[in-house]
Structure 1
């Protein structure tokens, strides 16, 4: 598949951010996206609290020494009483809810865990915010998969029709979040990002970490699909900027959903080829064709984010892949 011409960012996040000196909570803050959001918030001068169930050795959160600059709370978001205590005790003003069971293969094996974590975990975050008038904004991570199978240049007003456990968990959490705005006027906003990649992704079943591991360790990459499924890829630092903008502009964004995409659509085999070009190394692979229930084509329209938030991806695929490869070289040393 092709790609649109790379465009420079339409705007930058102001350094005099409304998040400066605010008590900000990031759930799932030790994960791929969460760690980059934490890093961005710290750079803006926020006081950051991180809630997660696990901190993996050599993770991006660890290697960037984010633990030393934030307050880490090892706790499950599904425990409502304890989560409320975190929000109230620490005077939290902004919540970025990224904690989730995010692995699609695991969702097939453990649907109850996935639905409980992704749906009821979100409800707990919203309930804690509803009962605390100090909370000024809640940014909830949904997914392009919330749209279901009909996800070609999807727009925010398109129906949410997830068809499998992970997809449904995101569709439901997305709708519940909007319901809290409609019912309680809670200042919430939903993010729907394309396939995210970048330094720090330790889920090696995903395609980009899988490529990096196979190349660096001289292994054969196993492709679960037929290699023809198309995805819309977005670099994690652009994702972090998008999250921050949603919170900074909550007056304009509350009650809404926003798509984020770089406009680069590739099937698996084409992505491998682009990665090989970017890093100058070959990736051996084997097509298993064992995954039958994946969405065939996913791409998002991000005109709304460009117009309302003045957001556009700053990283091209090649630059993002190179930065990602550099990080994994250090990880596998």
Structure 2
């Protein structure tokens, strides 16, 4: 099925990936309802700053994914639900693990119950590469063991399994998308790439980071958004988990060097104790196999390999270098 003309609910639409996904969906002709976390400031997160051609072309529903009544109201009438709402910051999950269970597991359950009740045509649930833990083999396929190395990843494993159980138990049309580390414009400085860019943009040349040796498979945000569309449209993915990555593995140290080169500066890297994960919680290596995405969906990333990563970094740096965008970030503190 095509998402064009479909009524599509995007939970977590006010976030980094969600706001980009809203832009993609609006431009392809979907009727979008964007679920934004309620707050008394009447702000809609990144939805307040989407591209001008998209602004005003979607409906906003404010609520809380933890509230089953509000979630049911949001889901009612939707053809497709793309479920991105989640707490994702790993350091904060050490501080407040209960909240991660409430948002990630119970919030997902609320979405699934509502989707089952109202006969939604498709639910795409968002997983994360963190559920694999440190790679036991590479590239990581969907058959890799699941290892919860942080309360965050454990909560996502639980949410994934709840989602798949609704497919197996009730025939709810669920598919699970598992993006590897997404980056790009609008990302929070709780992630490493914006952390590096904003420190440099502020004028720092001694860059404070955590562990420099782990490797990641970084995916540009438009590739991830297009992955959501593919998962929402193709019948081959019902009951399936599908990885989405760039097929390129790079260390945090090399990532910082690529960013510094894109910004035309020389930097020194310092590992700061506050930014380090506990030893047994650090995920040392992530590198996605995207063979299944290619086989089932004919999906390939437009920002693949080292050249694609450099291109994505240059686009991200350009966005952060806009003073209006940089001003939205607290560049003088560590974001958990």
TM-score over 0.5 for the alignment? yes
Identify the match of residue 93 of structure 2 among 94, 107, 128. 107
Query: What is the aligned partner in structure 2 of residue 216 from structure 1?
Result: 201
Residue of structure 2 in register with 1:244 after alignment? 229
How much does 1:176 deviate? Answer: 1.1
Match among 60, 65, 81 for residue 77 of structure 1: 65
Query: For the residues of structure 1 that align with 2:164 and 2:102, how far apart are their CA atoms?
Result: 19
Cα deviation, 1:17-40, whole Å, max 9, x if unaligned, reads: 711111100000011110111111
Deviation at 1:215, TM superposition (A): 1.5
**Aligned with 1:318 (options 310, 318, 325):** 310
SS of residue in 1 equivalent to 2:148 = coil
**Cα distance change on mapping 1:165 and 1:297 into 2, 3 Å:** same
**In 2: Cα distance, 1:221 partner to 1:56 partner:** 32
Q: Equivalences for 1:41-120 in 2 at 5 Å?
A: 41-53=25-37, 59=46, 61-65=48-52, 66-88=54-76, 91-120=77-106
Shift of 1:282: 3.4
> Which residue of structure 1 aligns with residue 332 of structure 2?
none
- Structure 2 gap ranges (5+): 328-336
Given the two structures, how large is their TM-score scaled by the length of structure 2? 0.88
Q: Number of matched residues?
A: 311
TM-score normalized by the length of structure 1: 0.89
CA shift, 1:256, in A, is 0.3
Work out which structure has the larger RCO, using CA pairs closer than 8 Å and 6 or more positions apart in sequence: 1
Q: Kindly report which structure 2 residues correspond to 1:144-159, keeping only aligned pairs within 5 A, or say none.
A: 144-150=129-135, 152-159=138-145
Q: 1:291 aligns with which of 263, 269, 277?
A: 277
1:86 CA displacement: 1.7
Summarize deviations over 1:255-303 as a string: whole Å, max 9, x none. 0000011112111111111122233233443211432321111112110
| Counterparts of 2:57 and 2:266, CA distance in 1 | 38
Give unpaired runs (5+ residues) of structure 1: 1-16
| Cα drift, residue 160 of structure 1 | 1.9
Aligned partners of 2:15 and 2:45 also within 8 Å:
no
Aligned Cα RMSD in Å?
Answer: 1.8
